Structure 1
């Protein structure tokens, strides 16, 4: 693995809000530190494909604790220490309300531009932690394939263990007949679906088929349908043996992830086919659990923990390419 050269430019986004763009010879990534270090763009410069969804809602400063859907509903955000808002379950912060989608997305982060890298960081409001993320372009030596590397660390600044949920939350542009690729052996369970079509929470389905119980009919959930479908659902995979996945577009361009399955043994799958705010989006979210709420996850013993005065680290690799041969080469068989 070798760090690639990157041109890094800071510019005005709107009002007093700045964005930072990292550009390599193949890709560009744009981050807005003041808006939760949101990633607003992942661009394949060679094909001009923008992978992240962008709505017509203006960017503006967040109000801490506000609802996630009151803002842009696009790009990629970081969810920690929960995904669904809930009271914190463990002493000494028991009962403390943690916002919808966690704290990170609604806080202004600090940032530092170093040689070929962008480091961003923020401290928690209701819990004493330091969350850091560094973005760079790297090369997979065995493939000579450039990829986008997100390196994370979370430091617990207290003398008590800190249970958490984490999910990377990218809202990708959906295209009809795009395909979700999961590693062999992965099945899915329902977390939510419009009108409970796919059953109550934790209803299991054998991937790629899911059952619409209102129609008593199964369909291939790996294939993204038209925005005219007017349906949406959130699913989770069963525990993964391999931390990898991909979204493949109709013209064979793909974006995929490599991540540590032992730390993040599940993928959250959010598919919105025109129901939620009339948007056509799909999210593939490396996650610590099969549930969105930390209080529920703790009860199931299905969460991560940052030890007292300890630090937890991980990497997420974003791979972009085109064609089945390249997909298999860098992400494996699906």
Structure 2
């Protein structure tokens, strides 16, 4: 019997050029011309479980630096937010970058990534490497995806290179919009301390609250996805108050993800706190929509470097990550898909 192998295909779908990485446990579609957006991530029996939410009201389109992500590009799937999430102007302590304006949700989404390498290696692992030269800061951003030949493991490897002679600050998060259903379980490391940077009306906490997962100050268990048809809809944003070492008890990894008790399926993000120290959560239980239409029902779980909504805030605090002059910074993590009965 031949050894198992993952595959990679170059396809056309929805008017897009798409790379499909696939094995019998996982399938993912990546669109390099949309900033490396992952438009589909499927697992389960016959790969029928789609984990990513898609906004059917907002079409895919090229992005410009002055665009609003939430109004024009909140299409779902997985985007990369870099070098800031919120639009901001860098403060005086940013040195020769002071006064520079960074765009909403960064500058990588919705733009063609210029460098593409794909391969299936001798061990059966399929890889796709995409790279982009930033416009706002003198950095190159590289993401390498590795799909194991015979497991539900997808590895993300990142490398940012500084092309200048001075340190360059940045923040980063991956922005996966996940498809959810009432009764699903949201998993975060127990007792991880979070703070609320935004809470809409009807949310079970208020902006500025701090709490340890999963119970809010009023005792609401945030780990259960509510039913917005029976409960009041709301939206809220959480960010790590401290890094993930506050809850790992010396373990080398923290696990966050989405679990479906009805099917036993799960999608877990396995994060090394030394490399990916923060988590952000956008819980939108029919409480908000960027296009002004009917509010969405989705969830965004973000592995992150930097626990603020903008790079300016991190610089104001003195906690902004940096890339040293003429050097690089790397990080990585894994995503695991679990399907009962598939082994």
Residue 71 of structure 1 corresponds to which residue in structure 2? Answer: 73
Mapped to 2, the partners of 1:210 and 1:45 lie a distance apart of 33
The answer to whether residue 63 in structure 2 is matched with residue 62 in structure 1 is yes
3-state SS of 2:109 partner? helix
Residue 134 of structure 1 corresponds to which residue in structure 2? Answer: 144
Moved more, 236-245 or 286-295: 236-245
Residue 276 of structure 1 corresponds to which residue in structure 2? Answer: 288
The answer to whether residue 331 in structure 2 is matched with residue 306 in structure 1 is no
3-state SS of 2:85 partner? coil
From the superposition, tell whether residues 103 and 272 of structure 1 become closer, same or farther in structure 2 (CA, over 3 Å): same
Mapped to 2, the partners of 1:321 and 1:156 lie a distance apart of 37
Mapped to 2, the partners of 1:322 and 1:220 lie a distance apart of 26
Aligned counterparts, 1:75-224, within 5 A: 75-89=77-91, 90-110=94-114, 111-115=116-120, 116-138=126-148, 145-195=151-201, 197=203, 198-201=205-208, 203-211=209-217, 217-224=218-225
- How far the C-alpha of 1:45 sits from its partner, in A, is 4.8
Q: Give per-residue Cα distances to partners, 1:244-302, cap 9 Å, x unaligned.
A: 21211232211011122123222101111012222111111111232111111122233
Structure 1 residue ranges, 4+ long, deviating more than 3 angstroms after superposition:
none
Mapped to 2, the partners of 1:206 and 1:43 lie a distance apart of 31
- How far the C-alpha of 1:6 sits from its partner, in A, is 2.3
Q: Give per-residue Cα distances to partners, 1:133-171, cap 9 Å, x unaligned.
A: 1111137xxxx8440011110001111101111111100
Q: Give per-residue Cα distances to partners, 1:276-333, cap 9 Å, x unaligned.
A: 222111111111232111111122233321111111111120001046xx9xxxxxxx
* Number of aligned residues: 312
From the superposition, tell whether residues 280 and 117 of structure 1 become closer, same or farther in structure 2 (CA, over 3 Å): same
Q: Give per-residue Cα distances to partners, 1:93-149, cap 9 Å, x unaligned.
A: 21111111111113211322222211111010111111011111137xxxx844001
Whether contact under 8 Å (1:156, 1:310) holds in the other structure is yes
Mapped to 2, the partners of 1:11 and 1:64 lie a distance apart of 28
3-state SS of 1:297 partner? helix
The answer to whether residue 239 in structure 2 is matched with residue 236 in structure 1 is yes
- Gapped runs of 5+ residues in structure 2? 121-125, 249-253, 290-294
- Gapped runs of 5+ residues in structure 1? 212-216, 327-334
What's the TM-score, normalizing by structure 2?
0.85
Mapped to 1, the partners of 2:287 and 2:4 lie a distance apart of 40
What's the TM-score, normalizing by structure 1?
0.87
